[in-house]
A and B are shown apart, each in its own frame.
Chain A
Amino acid sequence: MAIGGFLSVDPFRPEAPFLRGFRASFVRNNRMLDVILVALLVGLFGLGVAYAYACERL
């Protein structure tokens, strides 16, 4: 189930691949949700490491 009207789109309007992917990622029973969220989790910590290196250079 897509969440609310925020991501609803006009069914007659072709959807951009990026938006299709984005919408799919925001579906709670998406089979890929585990992969997406674990990737987000690891990505956040990766961002933290990059931020630390940026702080060292600043």
Chain B
Amino acid sequence: MTFNGILQIALFAAIILVLTRPLGGFMTRVFSGERTLIGRALGPVERAIYRLCGVDETTEQHWLTYAVALLLFNMMGALVLYALMRLQALLPFNPQGQVAVTPDLSFNTAISFVTNTNWQSYGGETTMGYLVQMAGLTVQNFMSAATGIALALALVRGFSRRGARTIGNFWVDLTRCTLYVLLPACIVMTLFFVWQGVPQNLGAYTEATTLEGAKQLIAQGPVASQLAIKMLGTNGGGFFNANSAHPFENPNALVNLVQMVAIFAIGAGLTNVFGRMVGNERQGWAILAAMGVMFLVGVGVCYWAEAQANPLLAGLPVDQAVSALSPGGNMEGKEVRFGIANTALFATITTDASCGAVIGWHDSFMPLGGLVPLVNMLLGEVIVGGVGAGLYGILLMAIIAMFVAGLMVGRTPEYIGKKLEAKEVKMTVLAILAMPLVILLFTAISSAIPLGTAGVANNGPHGFSEIFYAYASGAANNGSAFGGLSANTLWYNTTLGVTMFVGRFFIIIPALAIAGALAAKKTVPVSAGTFPTTGPLFVSLLVGVILIVGGLTYFPAVALGPVVEQLQMMAGTTY
């Protein structure tokens, strides 16, 4: 580990801290319907959308209506995306003549992009035409991000309202989020990326002749516009197969920094929105502090693990020491332009949030280094998390934490002035069980049957990690690939599709039920027995509960993968 590397990580954390409050303030005003500068400019567009769609913005919805609207909207999005991929050979904006995407890959990709996962069992530049990239994948990048934020808002309203039957209007939340937050920010970011060298065109790929006289096809297209929402919406699906390790998708260190900041910016800002909407900003800072502690530990472990020399290379003429000419440590699978610190930082950020964009190859990390992205996802991506998803995920964990605290002192648990009773706890448990159900079930089956093991590139614990990581990535709606797994098969495409669906909507639905139940409740006045939820004790309890729930659920599986591999590596065996 170098001082320079630590400084870069500290700089990133400082930028996020500085952005959190202004972003939170802006988003609170937008979602509350208050007047903003951008609201005055785009207000007529918003009202025109409501008129066109027949939406009454003054009418609010019961949580069940909200949930059904959300599900039907996402279903229509998935069907349109499926059709676009199946028919792409007949559609315009396809200068490379990409053929129809296979049914199972279309199924997988449709669910993947609708659920904000962006798992890609394909290489973008060799599979998707420009129309699918723009009107299919990029549109879903916006819609899935806005869906996540809308849900987080609904849950926050559950805490902030008293005796209410409604939790907001899904169509209004979706429209405001897209129109006022995502779209303007993405336009600015797209222009910045184009300025920095990211392509944005509709031309055919360029055929170049190399110095050796060979022909090489240089892929390009509408990259910048997809890149902006890919990072800001924590989608992560790359235009190119190499994702953000491709020089056209990440041309320099400045773009790399902006991409990393974009992944965390909205998620961090939403914690401030939460604090403002419940009437105490410190509530939001406490949530962000819990996220921050887990982020710093994760990035610290990942960077430390990757900065270590690989013991298996000790006897070989490989320079693994830090010097003026060598970065030292394990450089395999790293983005060599940005080094170990930035690759470890990017890997941690992308799996803390449900982004999934990558600049390095997690499969090539040291076992403990690869463990960090895996654990980040297994914890439910509550460390800032996906836009909206991170906030509602950690609020569910906060409910469990307060339930545990209530059990300790024999008092009905409360959080933000709301009593947590049987309904909320049952719904929280249902939401928390959804992920392990599909991850562990499909990992176990895929590890035991030829359909699953046929796609694995490595034996032993490393092969197990490849399968485990894929289902964890799907269920957590992350979408990053560990690597080494040939997932474009009927088995993986269908089971990962189901995994992504359950990991998204079987958490969203109970979370909305909690929002509805909480909104109907009256607020309990603060008393001497109220557990303070703005201090270090609450932060420690929350972090502890997240780690214990995650540990109890996944430790056996984690032990079979990266932990065994690390021990085997120390004993001289590799896979």
Contacts and interface: CB of A to CB of B under 8 A. Distances in A.
Interface of A: 3-6, 26-28, 33-34, 37-38, 40-42, 44-45, 48-49, 51-53, 55-56, 58
Contacts of A52: 64, 67-68, 71, 509, 512-513
Interface string B62-79: 011001100110110011
B501 A37 contact: no
A6 B451 contact: yes
B505 A6 contact: no
Given A4-B450, A38-B79, 10 more contacts: A3-B489, A37-B103, A37-B106, A37-B494, A41-B107, A44-B505, A48-B501, A55-B427, A58-B426, A58-B427
18 contacts: A3-B489, A4-B451, A6-B449, A6-B451, A26-B490, A26-B491, A37-B104, A37-B106, A37-B107, A40-B497, A41-B75, A44-B505, A45-B71, A48-B501, A49-B67, A53-B64, A56-B516, A58-B426
Residue in B71, B423, B427 with the greatest tally of chain A CB atoms within 10 Å: B71
Contacts of B107: 37, 40-41
Interface residues of B, number: 41
B287 interface: no
Contact of B454 (A4, A37, A40, A53): A4
Contacts of A49: 67-68, 71-72
A27 B494 CA distance: 12
Given A34-B103, A51-B509, A3 B64 contact: no
Given A38-B82, A41-B111, A58 B423 contact: yes
A41 B104 CA distance: 11
Contacts of A44: 111, 498, 501, 505
B198 interface: no
B318 to A, nearest CB: 39
B129 interface: no
A28 B75 contact: no
Interface in B426-456: 426-427, 430, 449-451, 454
B485 to A, nearest CB: 15
B86 interface: yes
Q: Which secondary structure dominates where chain B touches chain A?
A: helix
10 smallest beta-carbon distances between A and B, as pairs: A45-B75, A4-B450, A37-B107, A55-B513, A33-B103, A52-B67, A48-B505, A6-B449, A48-B71, A6-B451
A6 to B, nearest CB: 5
Interface in B90-146: 102-104, 106-107, 110-111
Nearest to B66: A52
B78 A41 contact: yes
A26 B103 CA distance: 12
B50 interface: no
A52 B107 CA distance: 23
Contacts of B102: 28
Contacts of B67: 49, 52
Contacts of A40: 107, 494, 497-498
B562 interface: no
A53 B79 CA distance: 23
A28 B104 contact: yes
Nearest to A44: B501
Contacts of A33: 103-104
Given A6-B451, A48-B509, A56 B71 contact: no
B510 interface: yes
B506 interface: yes
B109 to A, nearest CB: 11
Nearest to B67: A52
A27 B451 CA distance: 12
A56 B67 CA distance: 11
Contacts of A51: 505-506, 509
Given A41-B75, A45-B72, A48-B71, A55 B491 contact: no
Contacts of B82: 37-38, 41
Contacts of B513: 52, 55-56, 58
Contacts of B72: 45, 49
